[in-house]
């Protein structure tokens, strides 16, 4: 479990394998000690530290993870957002995030608003019922507030601090990004779907 408050960025240093990939990640700055087996969110994807390296750690991405996230796009030199798993008693500064990506979105536009940025993100239409204005969404692991919603897109405004300390500043129109809807919205949508099916039966 995470909060969507990115504390560090990291660099993909090495990639091995095809169907299943092993990636070496090096955090930028002092990330502190990392334990073997720890769960770390990598641009919104919860992955287990499989081995420690001199500069960071190794993670493994299964074929399912590669198919459902942007990890298949990563190359040596790619910057990723990093967040440690939430501990009981930690401050919940963002919103509760599983680290389980729901879909891949596409950056449609980036507009400058004074010192902030407005991002328009294309999403699969089936996600739209779970995205609400003033609700939360995780974009590449970053907890953000939705400002506008359409049938197949939404918009969010990135404040200067978030723009500076996350990989969102690296994004450009056409880039793919990991999306995770708010977990409460996910369960409400599931409940409504099941309730509707029961009433029709």
Phi and psi dihedrals of 54, rounded to 5?
A: -60, -35
pLDDT one-digit tens code per residue, 117-166: 999 999 999 999 899 999 999 999 999 999 999 999 999 999 999 999 99
Round to the nearest angstrom and report the end-to-end CA distance of the chain: 36
Residue 104 in contact with residue 23, Cβ under 8 Å? Answer: no
Q: Which domains does the chain have, with CATH numbers?
A: 8-84 (2.40.30.20), 103-187 (2.40.30.20)
pLDDT one-digit tens code per residue, 19-49: 999 999 999 999 999 999 999 999 999 999 9
For 34-64, b where at least 16 C-beta lie within 10 A, e where not — what string? Answer: eeeeebbbbbbbbbebeeeeeebbbbbbeee
pLDDT one-digit tens code per residue, 78-131: 999 999 997 665 666 667 788 899 999 999 999 999 889 999 999 999 999 899
Residue 46 in contact with residue 99, Cβ under 8 Å? Answer: yes
Angle (nearest 5°) at CA 84 between 81 and 86: 130
Strand partners, 142: 139
Q: What is the pLDDT of residue 71?
A: 97
% pLDDT > 90, the chain: 78
């Amino acid at each position: 479990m995470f909060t969507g408050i990115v504390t560090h960025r990291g660099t993909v240093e090495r990639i091995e394998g095809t169907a299943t990939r092993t990636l070496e990640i090096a955090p930028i700055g002092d990330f502190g000690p990392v334990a073997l087996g720890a769960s770390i969110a990598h641009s919104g994807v919860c992955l287990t530290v499989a081995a420690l390296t001199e500069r960071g750690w190794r993670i493994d991405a299964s074929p399912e993870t590669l198919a459902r996230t942007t990890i298949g796009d990563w190359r040596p030199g790619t910057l990723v957002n990093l967040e440690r798993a939430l501990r009981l008693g930690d401050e919940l500064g963002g919103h509760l995030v599983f680290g389980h990506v729901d879909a891949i979105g596409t950056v449609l536009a980036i507009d400058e608003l004074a010192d902030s940025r407005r991002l328009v993100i294309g999403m699969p239409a089936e996600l739209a019922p779970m995205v609400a204005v003033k609700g939360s969404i995780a974009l590449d692991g970053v907890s953000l507030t939705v400002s506008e919603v359409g049938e197949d897109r939404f918009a969010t405004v990135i404040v200067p601090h978030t723009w500076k300390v996350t990989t969102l500043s690296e994004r450009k129109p056409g880039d793919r990004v990991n999306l995770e809807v708010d977990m409460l919205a996910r369960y409400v949508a599931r409940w409504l779907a099941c309730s509707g099916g029961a009433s029709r039966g």
